[in-house]
Structure 1
Amino acid sequence: MEVLADSLARALNAVQIPCVLWGHCLWSAHGVPTTVPSVDLVVPDSRIAGAREAITTSTNLTQPLVVCPDGAKCPWTNPRRQHPPPAFHLHIRGATRESTAVCFFLQSETLWFLPPFGPGFASPRARPLPRYLALACDRTVLPPFEIGMGKGVFDSDQTVVLVPRSHILLEALMRIMARDEGKRVGAYAVQHWAYMSLYVEPNGMLDVDLLPEPLGALHKKCTAGNMSSGAMIVAINRTLGIPVAPSDYR
């Protein structure tokens, strides 16, 4: 999957579109085991149409892709799926629709709390990166492969794939949990937030103290068993100024 991810990133970077890894390929890079065959990328909202054109016309991808013909019938965009839908997705040509998908997400739906991804990130190896991003081959940020875990750090030292650092991924999941509370897709973020505690914290690659407060304190309290995940979500919503249900007031 990392070879495909790198070729996708290079195709986008070639037309000055920055992208950041997301979804199951990102979880795997952080050591979370997953069998979901997808490569997901986050792109700036204003470049989503350009991303579609760049990927569908590129002749340099490691595997040819086609636009999904099934629309809402496709398992990757089915409204009953407990996962936020992508802005658009494609499939490997000649494969079944259940096999590897390439999904594109808007920054405003995923990593909206970070500064906008500017065109400078389309040359990720030519400039110092901000502390919230890293190259997918950075062994100080991503773990090595272990049996029973996710893939871990990318093998190629020349990859151009960017990843959010683990504390940024954790913050994103907590914010998405709060945003999607009570929705069908809300289970997705809660599940992967739990995976961060189960798989990423133990490998020493997650510094919870880098989370902004009170998110860091809430995460610690919840993982220590002193707060339910539901109570944590309510507290996050109050912190972020998101309305909560009347029954949540005391």
Structure 2
Amino acid sequence: MTDLAPVAFSPWEMFLNAGLVVRCVMSVLVVASVLTWTILIAKSVELLRVRAGLGRAEQALELAGTLDLGEEGTRASSIAHTLVVAAQTERRRSADIPEDSEGQKERIVLHLERLEAAEGRRLMRGTGLLATIGATSPFVGLFGTVWGIMTSFTGIAASKATSLAVVAPGIAEALLATALGLVAAIPAVVIYNHLARQTASCRAQVADLSALVMRLVSRDLGRMQAQIASGQVVRLGAARDPRLATGE
């Protein structure tokens, strides 16, 4: 009596029995899957640290009365410290035109906007690979499947065999490439969307920090304008009354 028990095929055995092209396709998909999970771990740790630093910097700026006092509290976050230093640098460069407070604010806002954009690009770095993996992995796996099935049917034609048992192993090995393509693509898409949401949250925190920096800048400029106005009142009074100018 013929033994009709099914032949057991493990994924590893199918990989070893597949053709060279199909094995290369499978290897590429496995590497892509490993990269996907590596990026998830690395970016998750990075974003957690960034969000923690931004939270501490935001609290420090909320409590600071002036921009100079806020500098020390923002050292926990590199981008927050960069924003504060950029605002201070522009104020020093505009020290010779203290009456141009609106111009100072405009220049500081432009600089902070560019720093925000640069930080957003830095936070998204590495996630573009996830988008590429999610978009191309199914097609790479499909290519391996088509190539494997084509090779199987070519073997049938060469051996002139008509039994399905001859072609079944080759088709199974080829379909494994499609399965690996989906295994690589689906997590990549989900992880990309997750990291995009986390990055958007960090960018919103950076925007909040920029608003806090501009509030401190406006406050400092308001104090400076009040001091200038007080000095002008004294000079005007001295000009109207010569005795004030001579101290009599």
TM-score of the pair, normalised by structure 2: 0.20
TM-score by length of structure 1 reads 0.20
Structure with greater strand share of residues: 1
More helix by share: 2
Larger CA Rg, structure 1 vs 2? 2
